[in-house]
Each structure stands twice: as C-alpha cells, then as structure tokens.
Amino acid sequence: GESVGLHLPTLSVQEGDNSIINCAYSNSASDYFIWYKQESGKGPQFIIDIRSNMDKRQGQRVTVLLNKTVKHLSLQIAATQPGDSAVYFCADRLLNAGGTSYGKLTFGQGTILTVHP
Amino acid sequence: DGGITQSPKYLFRKEGQNVTLSCEQNLNHDAMYWYRQDPGQGLRLIYYSQIVNDFQKGDIAEGYSVSREKKESFPLTVTSAQKNPTAFYLCASSKGVRGQAISNQPQHFGDGTRLSIL
C-alpha cells in the first residue's frame, strides 16, 4: 500500500474487547501477507503471516483473514489488552514476472490501536 | 540471543556529511534489507541484499549506498546527496529468498536508528 498522508487510521477499544484491524492491498499477484506490530521507538515485530492459498490462519489471540476477491486482509485480536496498544502494519509480497519471489515486501501505512483500561 | 542489532540508536548529521548506519544479524539469514520510516507513514524500501556481495536498489535508493561484504553485516551510508535524511531507519533480515521453491519467511527487524540533521 502507498502512504497517503500523516494521519494514520486509528482504532480505540476497551480492554477485553475484540479488535479488528483492516488492510487493503493493491496487487492481485501478491502471494504472501504479514502483520507486524510496532511500539513507539522500536522496530516492527512479527505477529502472524498467511499465504495466498489460505483464507484464515490463527495464532495465539490473533486471527488473520484473507479475502483475495476484494484484496482485503484483516487482523483480529481477541480480548485486547493495554499491551496491545501499538501501530499495526500489514505487508504483502509480490511475485515477480518469473514466478519467483525475492522477499520484497510492500507495507501499508499502519493503524494505531489504543486500548483503554 | 539471536537477533538484529542496529547502531547507533540516535545519530546526527551535519550538512554535507556522510553518515553510516550499522546493521548486524546473527540469525544466519541470507537476505537483508534497509527501510526508511517517516512520521505517519509505512516503511519504504531503500536497498536489499539477497546474498553476500550482491545488493539491489529499492524504491527510494537515491542518496544512499550499501555494501554486503559479510553475511552478518549490511551497513547503510546516507550521503550528502540525500536532501531529506531525517527519518527512522530500520534494518531487517530474512532466510534465503532465491528460487521457486521458496519458503515463506517473514522479515525480522532491528530497533532502528533515528537520524536527525543538525
């Protein structure tokens, strides 16, 4: 995804609620998708990934859903905690014309998640 | 512990000066990457390297240079030609990415270097 400005989408939730963070990607040839969490002043931390031949994958308290028809990715966080407050990025990887992939990722601009106690 | 180490955490550059950001990994990863992050924006790829002694330009390579003489190290030089160098710079690495039988491996990131202009 391309950056579209200085104001990131924001999501505010109460502690214990479920959170859903959405992401749209632009290229239907993308084959692999990752969600990262970034806390202030730190590097992105891997959360969960999914391949394009899947539509759902679950981790600990997190679920990623992939809808290739509308090129949409979502991250669901169950029982959100204050420690989940961060910026969340999706990233997708594009296959090159030869069908191989060189690991180059395209990142979305991020969503700020704030969890209120 | 295995990981990616970036240094320094904060760096200041004077006008007309080149500065070099360090990135070291002990994960035995073949591929390494440099990204730039500006406030309120996602990460943009500067350079990447799939193997020692090989590197490729990313989306915003102008004003930057890299080297990959060792598998563990991928330093980034911000040259005086980079007119807007103030940003948060992130280094990442991942397992080997060549070939069609590629495994899907996420990139792992260091904790970044914040570069500012004096």
- B4-14 pLDDT tens trace: 999 999 999 88
> How far, in Å, CA of A6 to CA of B39, rounded?
7
Q: Is the distance from CB of A110 to CB of A87 less than 8 angstroms? A: yes
What is the nearest CA distance from B90 to chain A, expressed in angstroms? 7
**What's the pLDDT at A95?**
65
Nearest to A77 by CA among A1, A7, A14: A14
Mean pLDDT for the stretch of residues B90-113: 78
What does DSSP assign to residue B99?
S
- B85-97 pLDDT tens trace: 999 999 999 886 5
For residue A29 the two structure tokens come to 């040839």
What is the nearest CA distance from A49 to chain B, expressed in angstroms? 8
Answer whether A102 touches B (CB < 8 Å). Answer: yes
> How far, in Å, CA of B92 to CA of B111, rounded?
9
Backbone angles phi, psi at B17, to 5 degrees: -105, 145
Q: Is the distance from CB of A33 to CB of A65 less than 8 angstroms? A: no
- A32-68 pLDDT tens trace: 999 999 999 899 999 999 999 999 999 999 999 999 9
Question: Which run of H or E residues covers position B76?
Answer: strand B76-78
> How far, in Å, CA of A20 to CA of A11, rounded?
9
B95: closest chain A residue by CA: A103
Q: Which amino acid is at B13?
A: R
> How far, in Å, CA of B10 to CA of A19, rounded?
33
Q: Is the distance from CB of A61 to CB of A79 less than 8 angstroms? A: yes
> How far, in Å, CA of B57 to CA of A3, rounded?
20
**What's the pLDDT at B40?**
77
Q: Which amino acid is at A82?
A: P
CB within 8 Å: B58 and A42: no
Q: Is A41 exposed, middle or buried (0-12, 13-18, 19+ CB in 10 A)?
A: exposed
Residue B58 has pLDDT above 80, yes or no: yes
Interface probe, candidates A52, A90, A107, chain B, greatest B C-beta count within 10 A: A107
- Classify B81 as helix, strand or coil: coil
